[in-house]
Structure 1
Amino acid sequence: MTRFIFITGGVVSSLGKGLCSAALGALLQARGFKVRLRKLDPYLNVDPGTMSPYQHGEVYVTDDGAETDLDLGHYERFTGVPSRNSDNVTTGQIYWKVLARERRGDYLGATVQVIPHVTDAIKEFIYADVADEDFVICEIGGTVGDIEGLPFLEAIRQLGNELGRSRSLFLHLTLVPYIASAGELKTKPTQHSVKELLGVGIQPDMVVCRAEQPIGRDSRRKIALFCNIREQAVIQALDVDSIYAVPRSYHEEGLDDEVCRHFEIDEAPTPDLSTWDRVMESVRHPDGEVTIGVVGKYTSLLDSYKSLAEALAHGGIANNVRVNVNWLDAEIFERDDAATYLEDVNGILIPGGFGERGAEGKIAAARFARERNVPYFGICFGMQMAVIEAARDLAGLSAAGSTEFGPCEDPIVGLLTEWTRGNVVERRNLHSEKGGTMRLGAYPAQLAANSRVASIYGASEISERHRHRYEVNVNYREVLERAGLHFSGMSPDGELPEIVELPGHPWYIGVQFHPELKSKPFDPHPLFTSFIHAAVEQSRLM
């Protein structure tokens, strides 16, 4: 019997509903339950794939090729359960589905309305692709009171009635602000937020309160009284020193115990949190530290690189060191000498990105890493810029460039127009729609024997997630390999370069895929583990 937990948020945005969902999933999983997490996003975009990183932050890609909200990355990192296309839906997708049905005549001439047609489509999504999970945790994006979120709230209200209390739970996350001048916490915003939720017919069963200061007994009693819940169902969520401390913190506050009480689960074992304790031991008591310079394009909004930042931290956990990240705007290297900013870093990472802005700065950073023997990790666009740098400075192709930036004499990187996904040939061109038209999701790659990456992975074939529209031109492989750049990972048909490395360099690897999407604190990605290890070795030479 699958139980459904609906998580809503109030007062302000960015309270951490995604982390709350992920941590609760981890706690239930630690008790031996099978969990699944999904996100309902109220915005009208079909998916975040065409949204600016400054608007939305990172686009998280699943194995099956869905472009989703970054909260799905939290879900995977905390539970290890691979997210799927069926775990993220937007208002755009819901309306697209409803209007397609109307065009086909599926509604038999009825007037199409938000209730019941839109809300029914939302409920179909919540129920879809559920097998033997004990719990499905559904996070509702946005804040209670947002007009675009009303159909989703109505849908889960209906589900609460259909499922009953034995199979549904409503958890509301709010803010209890501390007013420094008054020297006290204020519960009124939480009361008003719950009142807003009651206005759409939803009585929360639990209220999780974010706060900077401990919430006293009187304040909890007041929240419970005005929100019509048990005092034990008011859970404080204090700030912690690491997101990976959240599961332990929530457990100590009684979150998972209260969930089990609500569902009358009397025999649930105490959760085994030893894995999280080991992670936090490494976070809090590292043996040393390294500094990684990340040369990116969207560094003014670090959520654009959320999975990347966490994967670097995971590499630090694996090596028991603290990873300090120096976020650098690639454009500064187009004006200033790279050494000015990179002289003291122990490793350089160039992440993915789109467009010409900052490209020459990234090429300059790759050149610095190659010439100075600094560990270098190029991801997606970062691999492409490293290959262009090698073509110009090692192979003598001074006109090397990418057709993403316009026509060039030596198109080292070009638009991918045809590729195979399973048994299907997919084709794109410059005039294709932007949304969902990249090479997306998991693809296999074969690793060259005796290569560094084969040693790192301990395998000859791997599967990694992709999100890109341009590829390194395989026709330049021979000239680049003669110049010293080794193509150590290729697609099974040998047509698409997946990994390049520089033999003789302490650590110089570029990958076309996004390994950060598969890294977890309890299972760090091997490339990040190896990269941070190389940075540790570099730090000993400085």
Structure 2
Amino acid sequence: MTRFIFITGGVVSSLGKGLASAALGASLQARGYKVRLRKLDPYLNVDPGTMSPTQHGEVFVTDDGAETDLDLGHYERFTGVPARQSDNVTSGRIYKMVLEKERRGDYLGGTVQVIPHVTDQIKTFVLSDLTDEDFCLCEIGGTVGDIESLPFLEAIRQLSNELGRERAMVIHVTLLPYIPTAGEIKTKPTQHSVKELLSVGIQPDMLLCRSDRPIPESERRKIALFCNVNEKNVIAALDAPTIYQVPIDYNAQGFDSQVCKFFGLPVEPAPDLSRWHGIVERATKPEGEVTIGVVGKYTSLLDSYKSLAEALVHGGLANNVRVRLRWFDSEVFEKGDAVNHLEDVHGIMVPGGFGERGAEGKIKAATFARTRRVPYFGICFGMQMAVIECARNLANLPRASSSEFGYTEEPLVGLMTEWIRGEQLVKRSAAGDLGGTMRLGAYKCHLVEGTKVRSIYGSDVIQERHRHRYEVNINYREQLEAAGMRFSGMSPDGLLPEIVEYPDHPWFIGVQFHPELKSKPFDPHPLFTSFIRAAIEQSRLV
């Protein structure tokens, strides 16, 4: 019997609903329960694939090729449960499915309405694709009071009634601001947020209250009284030195214990959180420190690179060092000798991106890393720019470029028009839609014997997640390898370059896929572990 926990948010956005959901999932796992986590997003995009990273943060990609909200990255990093297409849905996708049914005549001439048709579709999504999970945690995006989220709130209201209290619980994440001039924590925003939730027929069973300081018992009692919840179900969510401390702190506050009591489940024995204690110990008491320069295009919103930043931290955990990140806008490097700002970093990371803006700055960063022998890790677009840099400066192809930027006489990187997925041929065209048309999801890659990546992975076949529509042109392989760059990973059919490296460089690797999406604090990705190890060696030379 699967129990459902619905997590809503109030007062303001960015309170950490996703992190709270992930931490609760990890705590329930530590008690021996099987969990699944889901995100219901109220925006009208079908998925976040066409949204700017500076508006919505990174797009997290699943093995089965779904472009999803970045909170699914939190879910995977904390629980290790691979997310699926069925774990993220938007208003746009819900309405699209409803309208497709209407066009087919599935509603038998009935008037199509938000209630029951849209809400029924949401409920179907929540209940689908579950097997033997003990808990399904469903986070509702947005803030209570937003017009966009009303159909989702109505759907979980109905579901809570249909499932009954033995199978459904609502947790509301809210804010307790501190007013310095008054010297008090204020509970009124939380009270109003709960009233807003009550106005749509939902009584929260637990309140998770974000605060920058401990909540006095008097205020806890006040919140419980005015919000009609058990005092023990008013949980303080305090700031932590590392996000991986959160499952430990929430457990100390009785978060998972109260959830178990709500469902009539045993509280004892206590969950085994030794995994998280070990991670926190390494995160807060490192033996050293390295600095990684991240040369990106979307540095105005660091959530654009959320999985990347966490994967670098994981690489530090694996090597017991603190990783300090210095963020550089790649456009700055296109002016004069600004690239010399990289002089004091121990490793250079060039992540993915789209479009020509800032591309030349990324190419300059690759030149700097190659000539100064600084560890370089290029991901997706970062790999493509490293290949163009090699072509221009080593392979006597000064006009090398990408067709993504317009017509070029030397298309070192070009649009993919077809590729193999499983046993099927997938075809795309430049005139097609942008949304959902990239090479998405997990694909196999064959590693060449005797290469650095082969020794890092310890395997000759790997499987990594992709999100791209442009690819390095295999027709230039011979010229590039003659110039010193080795193609060390290829698609199974040998047509798509997946990994390049310089054998005579301390650590210079570019990958077409996104390894950061599979890294976890308790299972750091081998490429990030190796990259940080190389940065440690570089720090000893500086």
Task: Give the TM-score, by structure 1 length.
Answer: 0.99
Where 1:147 maps in the other structure, the secondary structure is coil
**d(CA) in 1 for partners of 2:196, 2:206:** 15
For residues 482-521 of structure 1, what are the alpha-carbon distances to aligned partners after superposition, in whole Å with 9 as ceiling and x for unaligned? 1110000000000000000001100000000000000000
Return the offset for 1:350: 0.3
1:449 counterpart residue number: 449
Aligned-partner SS, 1:445: strand
- AA aligned to 2:283 is V
Which amino acid counterpart does residue 175 of structure 1 have in structure 2? L
Say if 1:267 and 1:343 are closer, same or farther in 2 by CA, change over 3 A.
closer
Map residues 57-456 of structure 1 onto 2, 5 A cutoff: 57-266=57-266, 269-456=269-456
| Contact 1:338–1:368 (Cα < 8 Å) also in 2 | no
Whole-Å separation in 1 of the counterparts to 2:296 and 2:407: 24
CA distance in 1, matches of 2:270, 2:337: 56
Whether the 8 Å contact between 1:338 and 1:364 is mirrored in structure 2 is no
CA distance in 1, matches of 2:4, 2:134: 9
Contact 2:294 2:325 (8 Å CA) reproduced: yes
| Cα distance in 1, alignment partners of residues 213 and 74 from structure 2 | 25
- Percent of residue pairs bearing the same amino acid type: 73
1:39 paired residue number: 39
2:434 aligned counterpart, secondary structure = coil
When residues 259 and 420 of structure 1 are mapped into structure 2, their CA distance, relative to the original with a 3 A threshold, is same
Deviations 1:349-372 (A, max 9, x none): 100000000000000000000000
**Whole-angstrom distance in 1 between the partners of 2:336 and 2:494:** 39
| Alpha-carbon distance, 1:54 to partner | 1.2
Structure 1 contact 4–136 (Cα < 8 Å) conserved: yes
Distance verdict in 2 for CA 1:267–1:178, change over 3 Å: closer
Q: How many angstroms does 1:168 deviate by?
A: 0.5
Query: How does 1:460-499 map onto structure 2 within 5 Å?
Result: 460-499=460-499
Name the SS of the counterpart of 1:4 in structure 2. strand
Instruction: Determine the structure 2 residue equivalent to 1:501.
Output: 501
1:340 CA displacement: 2.5
CA contact (8 A) 1:210 1:236 kept: yes
Q: Which amino acid aligns with 1:256?
A: D
Distance 1:266 1:92 in 2: 40
**Residues paired across the two proteins, number:** 542
8 Å contact kept, 2:477–2:487: yes
- What's 1:6 paired with? 6
How far did residue 270 of structure 1 move?
Answer: 1.2
Q: 8 Å contact 2:413–2:472 — kept in the other structure?
A: yes
Partner amino acid for 2:510?
Answer: G
Deviation at 1:336, TM superposition (A): 2.9
Gaps of 5+ in 1: none
Q: Deviations over 1:437-463 (max 9, x none)?
A: 000000000000011001000000000
Name the counterpart of 1:459: 459
Whether the 8 Å contact between 2:17 and 2:139 is mirrored in structure 1 is: yes
Query: Any unmatched runs of 5+ in structure 2?
Result: none
RMSD: 0.6
Q: Any idea what the Cα deviations from partners look like across 1:383-421, whole Å, max 9, x if unmatched? A: 000000001111111110000001111110000000011
Whether the 8 Å CA contact 1:19–1:74 is kept in 2: the answer is: yes
Distance 1:144 1:402, change over 3 A: same
TM-score by length of 2: 0.99
- Assess if the C-alpha contact under 8 Å between 2:333 and 2:339 holds in 1: no
Distance, in Å, in 2 between the alignment partners of 1:144 and 1:267 is: 31
What's the secondary structure of 1:133's corresponding residue? coil
Measured in 2, the distance between the counterparts of 1:538 and 1:213 equals 40
- Quote the offset at 1:423 in angstroms: 1.6
CA distance in 2, matches of 1:337, 1:345: 16
Over 3 Å counting, the alpha-carbon distance change for 1:339 and 1:43 in structure 2 is closer
SS at match of 1:148: coil
Distance 1:473 1:520 in 2: 32
Shift of 1:269: 2.9
CA contact (8 A) 2:339 2:364 kept: no
Alignment partner of 2:148: what SS?
Answer: helix
Q: Distance in 1 between matches of 2:505 and 2:55?
A: 38
SS of the residue corresponding to residue 326 of structure 1 reads strand
Letter of the 2:475 partner, please give it. N
| 8 Å Cα contact 2:261/2:267 also seen in 1 | no
Q: Given that residues 290 and 539 in structure 1 are in contact (C-alpha distance below 8 angstroms), is that contact kept between their aligned partners in structure 2?
A: yes
Segment of structure 1 superposing worse, 293-302 or 421-430: 421-430
CA-CA distance at 1:339 after TM superposition:
4.5
Can you list the C-alpha shifts for 1:265-324, whole angstroms capped at 9, x where unaligned? 026531111111111011110001000000000001000000000000000000000000
**SS class of match (2:149):** helix
Q: Which amino acid aligns with 2:118?
A: V
Contact 2:507 2:534 in 1 (8 A): yes
Tell me the amino acid that sits aligned with residue 224 of structure 2.
A
Distance in 2 separating the partners of 1:406 and 1:361 = 18
Q: Secondary structure in 2 aligned to 1:360? A: helix
Which one-letter code corresponds to 1:434 in the other structure? L
CA contact (8 A) 1:367 1:389 kept: yes
Match of 2:21 in 1: 21
Q: Which amino acid is the alignment partner of residue 250 of structure 2? A: Y
Contact 2:48 2:67 in 1 (8 A): yes
| Aligned residue type for 2:380 | C
Q: Deviation per CA, 1:63-103: give whole Å up to 9, x if none.
A: 00000000000000000000000000000000000000000
